[in-house]
Amino acid sequence: MPLVANTSLPTFDRLRQEGETVLDPARAEHQDIREIHIGLLNMMPDAALEATERQFLRVIGESNQIAQFYVHLFTLPQLPRGEKASTHIKKYYESFESIQQEGLDALIITGANVTLPDLEKEPFWEPLIDVIDWAYEHVPSTLCSCLATHAVLQFRHKQKRQRLPEKCWGVYRHEVVDRHHPLTGDVNTLFKVPHSRFNEVTRAQFEDAGLHVLVESPEAGVHLAVSEDLFRIVYFQGHPEYDINSLLKEYKREVNQFIAGKRNSYPPFPENYFTIQTQGILHEYQEQVITALAGKNTVPDFPEALIAERLHNTWHDTGEAIINNWIGHVYQTTNTDRKKCFMDGINPDDPLGIRAKYNK
C-alpha cells in the first residue's frame, strides 16, 4: 500500500521516479483507508542520510498491508552535521518533541556512525536512551537496526557488543531457526542478508538477555531477534533494507580512503557479493591504482557503472516479507484507542488498567 507524501521531502520524488506509489496528501484524505504512522529515527552520518531515508521508505511502502503509511522522520540534534545535512534536516524532519505529542504506531531506529570504543561515550547515547525509553512505554513496536540493536542490548540488558577479529562485511546465508513466529512463519527458510559491522552481539548474549532469536547465520551470527514479549522490540544486526549497490558504494569509499592515504592497506572485497568476473575487473583496477600511486600519476576513475550492472540482489524479497509481517502485526494490534492507551501510559492489553484510567 502507498506511502503518503506528508512533507516535501525529496526522497518521495526519488521513489516516484523509481516506480513506487506515493500519494499526495489531498488524494490520501479522500481514500477511506486506515492510516499507519511510523517514525524513522535516522542517525546515519551525512553521506548516508538521504540514502537511508530512501531504503526504509521504500521497504515500508512496498509492504502489502491495507494502509496508508505516514512516515515521520526525526534525528538527534547531538549528532554532528555538516551544513547541507543540517539544512535538509531543518527543512524536512520533525522534532522528537512533536513526535511525542502526536504519537506513533511503530518506530524504526537506524544505525549511526561510531567513533569511540564505548557506546556510552558517544554523543547520541543519552538522547537515544530517552527515545528508547519513551518508545518502550508509548509505541506498540520498535524495530532496531544494527547499531540501535547494540545500544538497546547494552542499555536495557547490560549486554555489551563484542569487537570482531575482522569486519563482518558482505552478503551471508541465513536460516530461520523459529519457523512459527509471525515474523518468519511464511518467509523463505534459507535466505541471504547483507552485513557491515566491526562488532556483534552473540546468540548467547541475546539469550542471556531473555530475547528470542529468529534468524541466524553460521558466518555472520544472529540477524533477527525479538523481545521477550515477541513484538515490543525487533532487533536486526543485518541490513535487509540495503540497496543492491550499497556494499559497492561502501567498497568504493574504502578504496578512496586508501588512495587518499587514510587507510594502510587496499580493502578486501565484501564477502559473497561480487562475481568472479567482477572480482577480476576490480583486481585489475587495484593494480592500476597501485601503479599510479607508485609513479605519482593520476589514479583512474573507479569503474562503478561497469560493476553496478553485474550485481545481484539476493535479499530484498525476504527482507520485505519480514518488514511486511512486522507492519501487519502493527496493523492488527493498533488502532486509535490502543494508540491513546500507549500515549497515556496504559497497557492496552490490561483491562483493569484501562477501566481505572478511563472509567472513573
321 Cβ partners below 8 Å, 6+ apart?
186, 187, 188
Q: List 221's β-bridge partners, or say none.
A: 217
Going by pLDDT thresholds of 50, 70 and 90, the confidence category of residue 337 is: low
Q: Are residues 53 and 9 in the same domain?
A: yes
360 has pLDDT over 70: no
Please give the grid coordinates belonging to residue 350. Answer: 490490561
pTM: predicted TM-score of the whole model, two decimal places: 0.88
pLDDT at position 229 is: 85
Catalytic positions are 146, 239, 241
Note whether residue 353 is domain-resident: no
Note whether residue 360 is domain-resident: no
Strand pairing category for 162-176 and 190-200: antiparallel
For residue 331, the surrounding DSSP H or E stretch is helix 316-333
Rounded distance between C-alpha atoms, residue 79 and residue 148, angstroms: 14
Q: Is 223 within 8 Å of 318 (Cβ atoms)?
A: no
Note whether residue 118 is domain-resident: yes
Residue 39, sorted as left (phi over 0), alpha (psi -120 to 50) or beta, turns out to be beta
70 has pLDDT over 70: yes
84 Cβ partners below 8 Å, 6+ apart?
46
Rounded distance between C-alpha atoms, residue 108 and residue 87, angstroms: 22
Lowest mean pLDDT: which of 20-29, 102-111, 212-221, 302-311? 20-29
More confident residue, 357 or 226: 226
For position 57, which CATH number holds? 3.40.50.880
Note whether residue 359 is domain-resident: no
Q: Are residues 192 and 289 in the same domain?
A: no
DSSP, collapsed to helix, strand or coil, labels residue 288 as helix
The rounded radius of gyration (Å) of the Cα atoms in the chain is 21
270-321 pLDDT tens trace: 999 999 999 999 999 999 999 999 999 999 999 999 999 999 999 999 999 9
